[in-house]
Amino acid sequence: MVSASSEPGEGHTDDRGQAPRQADAQLEDFIYHVTHDLRACFRAMKVIPDWICEDLEKSAPEALQIVMPHIEMLTTQARRGDQMLLDLREFSRVGRLSDPPGLHDLAPLLEEATAMSELPTGLRTEFWLDAPQVYGPRNDLLRLFTALISNCGKHHDQAAGQIWVISEPEGPMVSLRVMDDGPGIPEKFRDRVFDLMTTLKPRDTCEGSGVGLALARKVVTALGGTIGLRETGHDRGTCVAFTLPGSAPEAATEQDHSAQQREWHGIRPGPTY
pLDDT of 269 higher than 80: no
Answer yes or no: are the C-beta atoms of 181 and 161 closer than 8 Å.
yes
Q: What would the mean pLDDT of 169-179 be, rounded to a whole number? A: 96
The single-letter DSSP state of residue 70 is: H
Total Cβ atoms within 10 A of residue 132? 20
160 vs 233 pLDDT, higher one = 160
SS3 167: strand
Sequence-distant (≥ 6) Cβ neighbours of residue 30 within 8 angstroms: none
Q: What is the pLDDT of the chain when averaged over all its residues?
A: 79
- In angstroms, the CA 23 to CA 8 distance is 22
Q: Where are the domains of the chain?
A: 18-93, 102-264
Give, in words, the CATH class of 102-264.
Answer: alpha beta
Q: What is the pLDDT of residue 27?
A: 64
- Model confidence at 132, pLDDT cuts 50, 70, 90, reads very high
Q: What is the pLDDT of residue 79?
A: 80
Residues of the chain above pLDDT 70, percent: 74
Which of 41-55, 129-143, 212-226 comes out lowest in average pLDDT? Answer: 41-55
pLDDT of 271 higher than 50: no
Q: What is the pLDDT of residue 235?
A: 82
pLDDT tens sequence across 162-172: 999 999 999 99
